[in-house]
Amino acid sequence: DDIGKAYDIEYTSTCFTSTTSQAIAEKAGFKTVLEIPYDDIIGPDGKLAFEKCSGKSVKIMEKKLKN
């Protein structure tokens, strides 16, 4: 938060890929902007791109740094 405020950055956005990191981000004040289930991500070969991921989805989350 402090670095963003020091550089006059209004928002920060990050891609969170695990259930644990998503939960920690939420506790830190991040809000989900977009969520894509791993089962919906198909590779160029027509197969699941992330079949070995233990999480259920990838989330793009953002946090407002300035009031």
> Is the pTM higher than 0.85?
no
- pLDDT band, residue 3 (cuts 50/70/90): confident
Read off the DSSP letter of residue 5.
Answer: H
pLDDT in tens, 16-67: 999 999 999 999 999 999 999 999 999 999 999 998 888 899 999 999 997 7
Q: What pLDDT was estimated at residue 57?
A: 96
The neighbour count for residue 14, using CB atoms within 10 Å, is 13
Concatenate the DSSP letters of all residues of 11-64 into one string: EEEEEE-SHHHHHHHHHTT-EEEEEEEGGG-B-TTSSBTTTT-SSSEEEEEEEE
Cα→Cα distances 49→22, 37, 52, Å: 20, 11, 9
